[in-house]
Amino acid sequence: MAVVTGAGRGIGRAIAEALGAAGAHVVAAARSASEVEAAAAGINAAGGAATAIRADVASEGEVDALFAQVRDRLGRLDVLVNNAGIGLYGPLMDFGTADFDRLVAVNLRGTFLCCRQAMRMMVPRRSGYIINISSVVGFKGYVNQAAYTATKHGVMGLTKSLALEAQPHNIRVSVILPGGVDTEMAAKSRPDLDRSVLMKPQDVAQAVMFLLSLSDRAAVDEICIRRRMSAPF
């Protein structure tokens, strides 16, 4: 049983579809009810099993309700993919405090809230895998992306510490750092790029499936994934 946040479109939807095709019951979660319902319907139509739950990861109450439904309706949690995220950009000296707070609330606090709930379900069963989706900006910076970059660095720190906390409970925690992926967020952050040269959301989904294919003897801390040749970033 897998929960994917930000599953209504882009990378999250591709991950949810890949998990569904592999036989997992997928709980697709996102802020937009129409998008997440469409994602779940597509998985079900393709022969998989999916449940749509509208949830804003920036809201502690909605995150708690999401995982309560998972617990009550499905009884277990094997995989959590923290993909939900937003991008807001601009020069730091002009960047609004409210926009900074919103970035932190969704990208970092939301990941924290979902990880906390996942651990509470996984630890008693001594089993599970948490995969956080960061970004290439989790280890480098770009002009006009200071606030966004700060949140993705935060996701990296959270992941590294949680991996150590989870290890004694037989729970694995990894992070994927994609470079340029052809999504709406990439188009907004780098309008100068030719989207045809970017990776596709399915490339990130394949990285998730690779992690889940590993034996219990193996653990991967992080995967950096970029376009194979002449990556624009």
Q: How far apart are CA 184 and CA 204, in angstroms?
A: 15
| Phi and psi based region of residue 222 (left: phi greater than 0; alpha: psi -120 to 50; beta: remaining) | beta
Say if CB 195 and CB 10 are below 8 A apart.
no
Q: Which has the closest alpha carbon to 220: 180, 169, 163, 168?
A: 163
To the query of whether residue 129 is one of the catalytic residues in this protein, the response is no
Helix (H, G, I), strand (E, B) or coil at 110: helix
Task: Calculate the alpha carbon distances from 200 to 11, 15, 21, 43, 147 in Å.
Answer: 8, 11, 18, 19, 25
Q: Which of 89, 129, 142, 148 is catalytic?
A: 148
Using the structure block, give the residue that is written with the tokens 């994927």: 176
Catalytic positions are 148
